[in-house]
């Protein structure tokens, strides 16, 4: 049998539970004292009830006689067998909340539900005695953040009483909170007037000057006056309602024993996200039910009619394909968020901001949706385009601010901001520099505010991280950077399996996956939709012919001689890198649009490394020339990269002792082979090309071997390349010593 004691083993810390129970009991009793409303009990008609007396039993009206502890120790469940308990619970009766003689609490005409909910949310702030004690530190200023104006005003009307009841509850723990002063940031209308803002600032300043400990109820830290910001030692956001809080409120309002059928109630309650979307009138409607189980069932019925931001079709991390590194990062973050929500990890230990970058169509937006779906929390999304669509600069900033405040109000949630590369660098001078600076500065402030808010996971997306203002993506605003690249063969097959479901096992996915290498996940998903559409119009089951036809639309099968040339070209890159001792690429593949050699230049590049890298860049063209007798336009990008490296080696990085002048990259776009700068760079590239042709000639058989493997596999990672190359002797020692220096 489960334990139904008043302090249970739950996600909420024991100290918080005990405090919540004490505060709620005090508020519930005090509310009846003030209203002079009798608290009534009555025997009920239950299977375990032998008493048929229907007379109501009123509590005495005098405050001294109002009970402050559960009135009954023995529960109806004490006299029932397990199967009988289940039967009673199925009828909507809570035998643990009911006394042994059948006495149960009737619904109250003036149940102080709003006050109880706010009190439970406030008590949830205190995870430890030390956190409670910190509020009373001499001259401490604590910001209690409630972004929504209407909610903040309603809460503040009840806050002095809630704070006093909390202080009395903490007295027994030796924590003294009496005498803490409170101040409220005015609503939008009052705050927009200079008089309203001045009155608020004056009040906070006066309380600080008097040496008081102060709790300021406001939207964000920006609402504090300068003195408040200086002394503010803690910022906490008022937690949102949870099932744990609902149970503690039910313990006061619907139990005469102080006990509950906790497991059964939890099974009937909606999830926390659904609860948090429920308006107060509907909470009151649910709590008008007579028993704990009927309240829980009513809450579930009401929330089932609401759009909580998480529909049945929302994806989860398990339902989408992610590259291994991105999958690791997101699962790690999800685990931390789960631990934080369970009270086992402080928010300061959660890496809660992630920059997602990569080419278009790699699933950055889908990942944000999936993370929110897996975490069971809302997604608040915006983008540069959405904000810009609002109008001029003032409208842009207002729209951005509204989305940020909504995220803070909805915590825990995911805040997703797309098109970060549109927030261009402030260092670039142009006619809109003032506009760009204002927009970027506003975003920086908002990102800092979001990162300071417990429960807000910030995900940013960009196709071009190098175009984003560096201050936006630095640690503290985006602590982790996660790349989303186009899927490899295994990734493409996984996307097919996700999109096709049970049909995937009946189709030849390997062949079509090879032809889609180099394409984005969005393009692969579009192929599946195209294939489904063809099958639908043909009024038949999806088959291989539909899938192949869909692939033909985006990746027509190339000529064999062209594919062979691509293989030779990419193998040339890989073999020369191996011969020169450079790191092998992460991936080499043949795609429908050519080849791909995915690798990075070493971070600390000496002159030798740069020269070797230029040689590797030119190796594809050299391999075509030596092994096929001609070159193709496939080397265009290679020549661009080689030109940039050669230019920077001489005129940006100072790797040649004869020149320490660093020229702007603008000069690179103006190079003319007949002009002095262009002539020197062209000469350097020609020298590297002659050198690499010799390496290719000496290793022609090895290049053919790797090309054949690439033709067979279509895609080889660094490990596979290493295996293919390690079986052949290199002749690096045959290179002249001068070749290594360019």
Query: What is the set of active-site residues?
Result: 570
Quote the tokens at residue 411. Answer: 């915590």
Indicate the angle between helix axes 676-698 and 636-651, nearest 10 degrees: 120
Q: Which neighbouring-strand residues pair with 458? A: 353, 415
Helices 700-713 and 718-726 cross at an angle (nearest 10°) of 140
> What is the residue whose two structure tokens read 């929302």?
314
Which DSSP category does 462 fall into? E
Nearest to 94 by CA among 299, 289, 300: 289
Backbone Cα Rg of the chain? 34
Nearest-angstrom CA–CA distance, 145 and 737: 68
Please tell me the distance from the alpha carbon of residue 404 to that of residue 426, in angstroms, as a whole number.
22
Q: Which two tokens stand for residue 494?
A: 């996984």
Could you give the dihedral angle defined by the CA atoms of residues 477, 482, 486 and 491, in that order, rounded to the nearest 10 degrees?
Answer: -140
- In this structure, the chain runs to a length of 742
Contacts of 727 (CB under 8 A, 6+ apart): none
Cα distances (angstroms) measured from residue 553 to each of 428, 442, 515, 547: 41, 44, 11, 10
d(CA 117, CA 272): 14
One DSSP character per residue, 665-699 reads THHHHT--TTSHHHHHHHHHHHHHHHHHHHHHHHT
Determine which helix (DSSP H) or strand (DSSP E) holds 443, and give its type and residue range.
Answer: helix 433-451
Q: Cα separation of 603 and 247, whole Å? A: 56
Sign of torsion, CA 204 208 212 214? Answer: positive
SS3 label, residue 490: helix
- What's the rounded Cα separation, in Å, for the pair 642 and 684? 10
131: DSSP letter: H
Strands 141-145 and 57-58: unpaired
Q: Where are the beta strands (DSSP E) in 485-637?
A: 587-591, 594-598
The Cα–Cα gap between 626 and 697 comes to 7
Structure tokens at 231: 């002394």
Q: Would you say 126 and 17 are in contact if contact means Cβ atoms under 8 Å apart?
A: no
Q: Report the 10 Å Cβ neighbour count for 669.
A: 7
For β-strands 587-591 and 594-598, DSSP reports them as antiparallel
- 381 neighbors 362 (Cβ within 8 angstroms): no
CA 624 to chain centre: 46
Give the angle 692-696-701 at the CA atoms, nearest 5°: 165
Measured distance CA(241)–CA(269) in Å, rounded: 12
Residue pair 487/517 in contact (Cβ under 8 Å)? The answer is no
Neighbours of 347 (CB within 10 A): 17
Token pair 């995915």: residue? 598
> For the sheet containing 715-717, what is the strand order?
594-598, 587-591, 715-717
| Residue showing tokens 């590297």 | 688
């Amino acid at each position: 049998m489960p334990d139904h004691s008043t302090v249970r083993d739950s996600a909420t810390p024991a100290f918080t539970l005990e405090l919540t129970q004490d505060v709620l009991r005090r508020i519930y009793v005090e509310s009846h004292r003030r209203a002079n409303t009798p608290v009534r009990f009555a025997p009920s008609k239950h299977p375990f009830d032998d008493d048929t007396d229907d007379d109501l039993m009123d509590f005495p009206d005098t405050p001294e006689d109002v009970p402050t502890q559960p009135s009954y120790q023995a529960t109806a469940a004490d006299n029932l067998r397990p199967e009988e308990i289940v039967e009673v619970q199925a009828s909507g009766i809570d035998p643990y909340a009911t006394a042994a003689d059948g006495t149960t609490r009737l619904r109250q005409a003036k149940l102080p539900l709003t006050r109880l909910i706010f009190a439970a949310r406030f008590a949830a702030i205190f995870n430890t005695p030390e956190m409670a004690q910190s509020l009373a530190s001499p001259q401490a200023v604590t910001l209690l953040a409630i972004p929504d104006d209407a909610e903040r005003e309603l809460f503040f009307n009840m806050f002095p009483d809630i704070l006093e009841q909390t202080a009395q509850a903490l007295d027994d723990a030796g924590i003294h909170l009496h005498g803490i002063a409170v101040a409220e940031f005015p609503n939008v209308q009052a705050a927009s007037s200079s008089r309203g803002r001045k009155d608020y600032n004056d009040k906070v300043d006066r309380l600080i000057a008097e040496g008081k400990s102060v709790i300021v109820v406001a939207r964000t830290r920006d609402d504090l006056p300068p003195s408040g910001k200086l002394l503010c030692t803690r910022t906490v956001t008022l937690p949102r309602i949870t099932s744990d809080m609902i149970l503690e409120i039910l313990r006061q309002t619907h139990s005469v024993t102080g006990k509950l059928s906790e497991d059964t109630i939890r099974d009937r309650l909606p999830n926390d996200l659904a609860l948090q979307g429920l308006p107060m009138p509907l909470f009151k409607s649910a709590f008008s039910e007579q028993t704990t189980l009927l309240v829980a069932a009513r809450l579930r019925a009401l929330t089932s009619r609401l759009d909580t931001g998480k529909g049945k079709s929302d994806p989860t991390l398990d339902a989408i394909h992610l590259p291994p590194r991105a999958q690791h990062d997101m699962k790690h973050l999800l685990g931390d968020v789960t631990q934080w929500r369970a009270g086992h990890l402080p928010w300061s230990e959660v890496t809660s901001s992630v920059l997602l970058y990569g080419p278009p169509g790699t699933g950055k937006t889908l990942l944000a949706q999936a993370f929110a779906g897996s975490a069971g929390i809302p997604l608040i999304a915006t983008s540069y385009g959405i904000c810009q669509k609002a109008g001029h600069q003032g409208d842009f900033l207002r729209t951005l601010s509204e989305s940020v405040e909504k995220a803070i109000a909805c915590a825990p949630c995911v805040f997703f901001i797309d098109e970060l590369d549109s927030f261009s660098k402030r260092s670039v001078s142009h006619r809109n520099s003032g506009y760009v600076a204002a927009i970027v500065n506003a975003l920086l402030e908002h990102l800092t505010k979001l990162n300071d808010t417990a429960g807000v996971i910030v995900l940013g997306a960009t196709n071009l991280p190098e175009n984003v203002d560096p201050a936006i993506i630095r640690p503290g605003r985006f602590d982790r950077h996660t790349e989303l690249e186009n899927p490899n063969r295994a990734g493409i097959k996984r996307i097919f399996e996700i999109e096709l479901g049970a049909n995937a096992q009946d189709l030849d996915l390997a062949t079509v996956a090879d032809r889609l290498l180099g394409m984005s996940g969005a393009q692969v998903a579009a192929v599946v939709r195209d294939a489904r559409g063809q099958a639908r119009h043909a009024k038949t089951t999806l088959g291989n012919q539909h899938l192949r036809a869909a692939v033909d639309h985006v990746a027509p099968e190339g000529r064999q001689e062209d594919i062979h040339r691509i293989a030779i070209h990419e193998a040339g890159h890989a073999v020369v890198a191996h011969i020169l001792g450079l790191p092998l690429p992460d991936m080499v593949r043949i795609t429908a649009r050519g080849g791909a050699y995915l690798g990075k230049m070493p971070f600390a590049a000496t002159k030798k490394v740069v020269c070797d890298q230029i040689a590797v860049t030119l190796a594809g063209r050299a391999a075509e020339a030596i092994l096929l007798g001609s070159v193709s336009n496939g080397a265009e990008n290679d020549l661009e990269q080689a030109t940039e490296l050669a230019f920077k080696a001489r005129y940006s990085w100072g790797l040649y002792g004869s020149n320490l002048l660093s020229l702007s990259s603008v000069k690179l776009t103006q190079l003319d082979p007949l002009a002095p700068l262009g002539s020197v760079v062209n000469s350097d590239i020609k020298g590297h090309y002659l050198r690499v042709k010799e390496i290719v000639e000496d290793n022609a058989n090895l290049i053919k071997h790797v090309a054949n493997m690439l033709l067979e596999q279509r895609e080889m990672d660094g490990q596979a390349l290493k295996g293919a190359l390690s079986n052949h002797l290199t002749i690096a020692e045959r290179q002249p010593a001068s070749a290594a220096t360019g």
